[in-house]
Amino acid sequence: MRKKKNRINRKTVLAFATLTVFFLLFAKLAYLQIFLHGRINRAVEKMVNRENVEVPKRGDILDAKGNILTTSIKNYTVFLDAKMIEDFETLKEVLSENGIKIKEKKICDFKNMSYIPIAFDVDSFTVEKIKKTKLKGVGFEAKYTRRYPQRRLLAHILGITGRDGGGLEGVEKICNANLSGETVKTKIIRDGRGQIIRNKSLNMEEICGCNIELTIDRNIQFIAEQELRKAFELYKAKKAICIVQNPKTGKILAMVSLPDFDCSDKIKDIRRLRNSAISDIYEPGSTFKIVTVAAALEEGKIKISDTFYLENGKFKIAGHTINDDHKIEGSATLSGIFEMSSNIGMVKIAQRLGGDLFYDYIRKFGFYSLTGIDLPGEAKGLLMDVKRWNALTLPNISFGQGIGVSALQIINAFSSLANDGVLLRPFVIQKIIRCNSEEEIFEKKEIRRVVSEDTAYIVKKLLKNVVDMGTGKSAKIQGYTVGGKTGTAQKVDPSIKTYSTKYYTASFCGMVPAMKPEFVVLVIIDEPKGSSYYAASVASPVFANISKRIAEYLRIEKDDVK
Amino acid sequence: MRKPFFLGASLIITIFVYLWQQNMSMRLAYKASALQSDYDKFNSENDILRLKINSNLALEKMDKIAKEKNLLRPDEKHIIYVD
């Protein structure tokens, strides 16, 4: 009986002890779950959960045919964590095999640091090779960098990006919001070995920036750049500009400003970033005569058959003498005036038109207002208000002096005549391609009708005569009819505050084919040095070289079989 | 006797299914992460190769090679357009 009692006691004690242990465990569990759950959860979340900032790839900029002009590539910064390095010699050897050299001395200086960058812009192939060695103490930080496979081509149009990846100039700036994409924060889980487990799969293509397709054809751009660069170097010019435009749509096919820069290099001279083709203004000289003639014809102030007495090459107005470079004896027809680029003839035409009407047409052709091109930094130009014009203003402006225009405004005015008198908005961005392949297409935009179709036809005929028989003979190209106008403008010398006899701007603006133009080309050579400064010998040959190559490239049907 | 046995068995199966799907979801998450990394890697390699193609076909570079090899621009009559 006693034995049985002892056994019960032992069983009871054991059960009691077990229950106590379970009770204590339960109590501890309850304490952790109820009272400490918040703190523990936070600690675990801190250890396991990570917020990851997914930086999207900046969109590409493409030419009219889809060739990449600029793109972003994922590159890596390789860094060392000095505390984690186990075998420095092997690490040094592996990195050296992959083209990364490290100095032991430098590492010793930062031995307590966890982030010692040792190489920048390392490509993913190299990074993969290093990763495979599974060495401890080496890390990689991914970053997108902008690349320009076409080097200098289109530098001013593409523009540049800053350190933060944002656009600072050109299309990079104007389309920054579209190109940048959307930065997304995602949650990732890290396990005990540091491996990442994503709780949601993210398609990076959905957040990346849009691609921008330009109207510019890289082949046409290359032709224009190559020919212009030759002339720029030959004449040791201060600046040179070339624009090629499709007059039927307003699309810019090429735009070159020299001197230029290489987008991939560090830009030493910030002035080179300036896109002279749209940001600089100059006195156009005789190329502006199309405005005077077109306005007078449109208003019926002159007829194609009219003749004008040209004062034997010297014409006095308000105490000033206006000279003709190409002297014409006696009188000349409108065509003769245009062919020989007579300043006196142009003054007489402008006088028939009068100041107010002339001013209206200057504005109608788009001068002294922005063309609306989709590039930053466009200049409006300079033009005195008609109420403040003096006796010399009208005569001067009639042959393109005393007015400041941009190269883009001049070519757009020529294009309006080539487009049967309708002025269009010039543009360089034709498509925005979103990540989901949706496209936003930009079409041609009509600004206004400037002159009638008939007037435009007569001016085109006059321009053709300039190349066939006048000052623009050197702009002729084999197989095609060409219409165009030369312009040799004196520049104002700031030191003497009057027109210089040393510094000139030579330009030529023309269209091919002459009567049904497919493209318009403007060439400007600023301050050419050498034996000649005349547009006929400096700018027109450059126009001819560019136009011939472009016409052949675009396979435009030959219209001059002579 | 049968009733408690089935009860126990279904409890064990339920626990097993629960643990299996927990384990499976973890394994799939690892696999998805690895695939995502591969996808990113291939994408980035594709970008690099596209850049290389465009760099090699850059007109400035081709013109330089043509000059080095003394190549001349062909006469228009000798050009055959294939497109």
Say if A232 falls within a structural domain: yes
Among chain A residues, the shortest Cα distance to B38 is held by A128
Q: Does B70 touch chain A (CB under 8 A)?
A: no
Q: Same domain, yes or no, for A234 and A373? A: yes
Q: Does B38 touch chain A (CB under 8 A)?
A: no
User: Which bin fits A43, alpha (ψ -120 to 50), beta or left (φ > 0)?
Assistant: alpha
Q: Does B40 touch chain A (CB under 8 A)?
A: yes
Say if A538 falls within a structural domain: yes
Res B39: pLDDT = 85
Q: How many helices (H) and strands (E) does chain B have?
A: 2, 0
Which pLDDT band holds residue A7 (cuts at 50, 70, 90)?
low
CATH number at residue A245: 3.40.710.10
Q: ipTM of this complex > 0.85? A: no
DSSP B48-75: HHHHHHHHHT-HHHHHHHHHHTT--PPP
B47 vs A195: CB contact, 8 Å cut-off?
A: no
Q: Using one digit for the tens of pLDDT, what is the confidence trace for A88-98?
A: 788 888 888 88
B51 vs A124: CB contact, 8 Å cut-off?
A: no
Among chain A residues, the shortest Cα distance to B60 is held by A150
Percentage of chain B exceeding pLDDT 90: 36
Strand partners, A331: A309
Which pLDDT band holds residue A3 (cuts at 50, 70, 90)?
low
Q: Using one digit for the tens of pLDDT, what is the confidence trace for A518-542?
A: 999 999 999 999 878 888 889 999 9
Question: Could you give the strand order of the β-sheet that contains A184-190, starting from the edge strand earlier in sequence?
Answer: A49-54, A184-190, A196-198
Among chain B residues, the shortest Cα distance to A551 is held by B76
Strongest mean pLDDT among A51-55, A233-237, A432-436: A233-237
Res A108: pLDDT = 67
Strongest mean pLDDT among A69-83, A262-276, A506-520: A506-520
The answer on pLDDT for A105 being more than 90 is no
Among chain B residues, the shortest Cα distance to A54 is held by B40
Q: Same domain, yes or no, for A547 and A406? A: yes
User: Which of chain A's residues have a Cβ under 8 Å away from the Cβ of B54?
Assistant: 67-68, 71, 149-150
What is the CB-side half-sphere exposure of residue A499 using CA atoms within 13 A?
13
Among chain A residues, the shortest Cα distance to B61 is held by A150
Res B83: pLDDT = 66
**Which among B36, B40, B51 is the nearest to A149, CB-wise?**
B51
B33 vs A226: CB contact, 8 Å cut-off?
A: no
More confident of the two residues A88 and A153: A153
Res A47: pLDDT = 76
**Which among A128, A150, A197 is the nearest to B30, CB-wise?**
A197
Q: Does B7 touch chain A (CB under 8 A)?
A: no
**Which among A151, A195, A205 is the nearest to B58, CB-wise?**
A151
More confident of the two residues A543 and A131: A543
CA angle A408–A214–A508, rounded 5-degree value: 30
User: Which of chain B's residues have a Cβ under 8 Å away from the Cβ of A128?
Assistant: 41
Q: Same domain, yes or no, for A126 and A228? A: no
A198 vs B44: CB contact, 8 Å cut-off?
A: no
Q: Does B83 touch chain A (CB under 8 A)?
A: no
Q: Using one digit for the tens of pLDDT, what is the confidence trace for A258-308?
A: 999 888 778 788 888 899 999 999 999 999 999 999 999 999 999 988 999
User: Which of chain A's residues have a Cβ under 8 Å away from the Cβ of B45?
Assistant: 124-125
A74 vs B36: CB contact, 8 Å cut-off?
A: no
Q: Same domain, yes or no, for A121 and A240? A: no
A153 vs B26: CB contact, 8 Å cut-off?
A: no
Chain A contact probe: residue of B30, B43, B51, B83 with most A CBs at under 10 A: B51
Name the minimum distance, in Å, from the CA of B55 to any CA of chain A.
4
User: Which of chain A's residues have a Cβ under 8 Å away from the Cβ of B40?
Assistant: 204
The answer on pLDDT for A204 being more than 80 is no
A147 vs B59: CB contact, 8 Å cut-off?
A: no
Closest CA to A411 of A373, A437, A455, A444: A373
Say if A53 falls within a structural domain: no
Closest CA to A190 of A80, A56, A85, A46: A46
CA A179, CA A209: separation in Å to the nearest integer?
Answer: 4
- Beta-carbon contacts of B73 under 8 Å, excluding residues fewer than 6 positions away, are none
CA A340, CA A360: separation in Å to the nearest integer?
Answer: 26
What is the CB-side half-sphere exposure of residue B39 using CA atoms within 13 A?
11
Say if A157 falls within a structural domain: no
Q: Does B47 touch chain A (CB under 8 A)?
A: yes
Say if A4 falls within a structural domain: no
Name the minimum distance, in Å, from the CA of A557 to any CA of chain B.
13
Cα of first residue to Cα of last residue in chain B, in angstroms, is 85
Mean pLDDT of chain A: 88
Say if A65 falls within a structural domain: no
The answer on pLDDT for A172 being more than 90 is yes
**Per mean pLDDT, which range of A5-9, A207-211, A248-252 is the poorest?**
A5-9
Res B73: pLDDT = 82
A195 vs B33: CB contact, 8 Å cut-off?
A: yes
Q: Same domain, yes or no, for A419 and A549? A: yes
Percentage of chain A exceeding pLDDT 90: 54
The answer on pLDDT for A42 being more than 90 is no
Percentage of chain B exceeding pLDDT 70: 98
CB-CB contact of A241 with A523 (8 Å): yes
Name the minimum distance, in Å, from the CA of A68 to any CA of chain B.
7
Instruction: Establish whether the linkage from the previous residue to B4 is cis, with ω within 30° of 0.
Output: no
The answer on pLDDT for A1 being more than 60 is no
Q: Same domain, yes or no, for A522 and A406? A: yes
Give the pairing type, strands A138-147 and A281-282. unpaired
CB pairs under 8 A between A and B: 68
Would you call A382 helix, strand, or coil by DSSP? strand
Among chain B residues, the shortest Cα distance to A219 is held by B59
User: Which of chain A's residues have a Cβ under 8 Å away from the Cβ of B58?
Assistant: 149-151, 153
DSSP A219-260: HHHHHHHHHHHHHHHHTT-SEEEEEEE-TTT-BEEEEEEES-
**Per mean pLDDT, which range of A40-44, A50-54, A68-72, A160-164 is the poorest?**
A50-54
Say if A202 falls within a structural domain: no
Q: Same domain, yes or no, for A234 and A92? A: no
Closest CA to A259 of A228, A283, A282: A228
Res A237: pLDDT = 94
Give the pairing type, strands A61-62 and A211-214. parallel
Name the minimum distance, in Å, from the CA of B37 to any CA of chain A.
10
* Total domain count, chain A: 2
Which pTM was predicted? 0.84
Q: Does B24 touch chain A (CB under 8 A)?
A: no
Q: Using one digit for the tens of pLDDT, what is the confidence trace for B49-70?
A: 999 999 999 998 999 999 999 9
Q: Same domain, yes or no, for A136 and A229? A: no
Radius of gyration of chain A (CA): 36
CA A538, CA A303: separation in Å to the nearest integer?
Answer: 32
User: Which of chain B's residues have a Cβ under 8 Å away from the Cβ of A67?
Assistant: 54, 57
Chain A contacts to B (CB-CB under 8 A):
57, 67-68, 71-74, 123-125, 128, 147, 149-153, 189, 195-199, 201-202, 204-205, 218-219, 222, 226, 552, 555
Would you call A80 helix, strand, or coil by DSSP? strand
Query: Between helices A407-418 and A453-469, what is the axis angle to 10°?
Result: 110
Cα of first residue to Cα of last residue in chain A, in angstroms, is 140
CB-CB contact of B45 with A125 (8 Å): yes
CA A70, CA A171: separation in Å to the nearest integer?
Answer: 11
Q: Using one digit for the tens of pLDDT, what is the confidence trace for B35-44?
A: 888 888 888 8
Say if A545 falls within a structural domain: yes
Res A74: pLDDT = 87
Q: Does B44 touch chain A (CB under 8 A)?
A: yes
Q: Same domain, yes or no, for A394 and A487? A: yes
The domain of A294 spans: 218-553
User: Which of chain B's residues have a Cβ under 8 Å away from the Cβ of A223?
Assistant: none
CB-CB contact of A398 with A289 (8 Å): yes
